[in-house]
C-alpha cells in the first residue's frame, strides 16, 4: 500500500484522476523543500522524454518558488521554496504540466557538436573494445559517431553528460578495475551508455577517444557546455585537429 508521500498526483488536487492512457507519476518527498517526480523504473527514451518535457514546462512557468530542476533518466528532482510556493500548489502546477505518455518535447532541443579524436593515447581502450566485438578500431569510431545522442542527465561530476542512443554493437561492460584518473574530455562507454568525462576523475568506463572541448568551465558565463535535454553529435577529428582545437 502506498503512503501519501509515494502516491500519485491525486493528492492535493481534489482527487481528480487522469486518463489511464497517461500513466501517473509517483511523487516522493525529499525532505521539506524538494520532491521527486518518477515516471518509471526503466531506462527508456519515452520515460526520459516525459522527464524533460515536465522540466521544460516548469522552467517556462518561471515561478520564483521553484529553485532547481534536476532531470535524471526516469525522474525529475524539484527543489522549491515553501515560503514562496506551498507543496500543494506545486503539485497542482505539476499536474497541469504533465506531458503525454509519448514524452514529446514542446520545442526542439539544442544540438551540440563534439569533436573527438578516437584511439591512440587519447582512446586507450579502443583497440581492445574493437577486438571484443569483432570490429576494427576505425569501424568502432564510425559507429560511435553515427547516432545523434540525447543528453538524458548530467551528473557524477559537474557537466558529465549521460547519453542515450548508443548502437547495440558497442554495448560493453565497465572495466573490472577502474582507473584512478581519467582525463577530462575522455569519451567512454559503459554498458548501454556513452558519456564524456567533464574533469579529471576516477572512472571505469571504456575510453575510446577524447574531445578537446571543456564541458565544465567556471570561467564561462555558463559553465556547462551541455545540459539535460540537449542533443549531442560526435565528429571524428585527427590528432592534429585535436591539438589545434585544444589550444584555440
User: Are 240 and 117 in contact, with CB atoms under 8 Å apart?
Assistant: no
Q: Which of 154, 124, 115, 135 is nearest to 248 (CA)?
A: 115
Answer yes or no: are the C-beta atoms of 229 and 56 closer than 8 Å. yes
- State how far the Cα of 198 lies from the Cα of 201, in Å rounded to an integer: 9
Predicted TM-score of the model (pTM):
0.73
Element (H, E) at 165: none
The pLDDT of 235-243, averaged and rounded, is 97
Model pLDDT for residues 100-112, shown as the tens digit of each residue: 665 555 556 678 9
Amino acid 10: pLDDT: 38
Domain range annotation of the chain: 4-97, 111-246
CATH T-level assignment (fold) for domain 4-97: Gyrase A; domain 2 (3.30.1360)
For the cut 60, the answer to whether the pLDDT of residue 132 exceeds it is: yes
pLDDT for 207 beyond 90: yes
> Of 235, 207, 237, which is closest to residue 126 (Cα–Cα)?
207
**Mean pLDDT, the chain, as a whole number?**
86
Check if CATH label 2.40.100.10 holds for domain 111-246.
Answer: yes
Residue with cell 524538494: 34
Whether residue 41 is predicted with pLDDT greater than 90 in this model: the reply is: no
Amino acid at each position: 500500500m502506498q503512503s501519501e508521500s509515494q502516491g500519485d498526483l491525486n493528492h492535493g488536487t481534489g482527487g481528480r484522476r487522469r486518463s489511464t492512457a497517461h500513466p501517473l507519476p509517483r511523487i516522493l518527498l525529499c525532505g521539506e523543500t524538494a520532491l521527486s517526480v518518477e515516471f518509471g523504473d526503466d531506462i527508456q527514451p519515452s520515460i526520459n522524454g516525459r522527464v524533460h518535457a515536465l522540466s521544460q514546462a516548469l522552467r517556462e512557468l518561471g515561478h520564483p518558488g521553484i529553485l532547481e530542476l534536476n532531470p535524471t533518466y526516469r525522474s525529475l528532482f524539484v527543489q522549491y521554496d515553501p515560503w514562496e510556493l506551498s507543496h500543494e500548489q506545486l503539485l497542482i502546477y505539476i499536474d497541469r504540466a504533465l506531458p503525454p505518455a509519448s514524452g514529446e518535447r514542446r520545442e526542439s532541443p539544442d544540438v551540440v557538436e563534439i569533436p573527438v579524436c578516437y584511439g591512440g593515447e587519447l582512446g586507450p581502450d579502443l583497440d581492445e573494445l574493437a577486438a571484443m566485438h569483432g570490429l576494427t578500431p576505425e569501424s568502432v569510431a564510425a559507429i560511435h559517431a553515427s547516432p545523434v545522442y540525447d543528453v538524458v542527465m548530467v551528473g557524477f561530476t559537474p557537466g558529465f553528460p549521460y547519453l542515450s542512443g548508443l548502437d547495440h554493437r558497442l554495448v560493453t561492460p565497465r572495466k573490472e578495475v577502474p582507473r584512478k584518473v581519467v582525463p577530462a574530455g575522455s569519451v567512454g562507454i559503459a554498458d548501454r551508455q556513452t558519456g564524456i568525462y567533464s574533469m579529471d576523475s576516477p572512472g571505469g568506463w571504456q575510453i575510446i577517444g577524447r574531445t578537446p572541448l571543456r564541458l565544465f568551465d567556471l570561467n564561462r558565463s555558463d559553465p556547462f557546455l551541455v545540459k539535460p535535454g540537449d542533443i549531442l553529435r560526435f565528429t571524428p577529428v585527427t590528432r592534429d585537429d585535436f591539438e589545434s582545437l585544444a589550444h584555440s
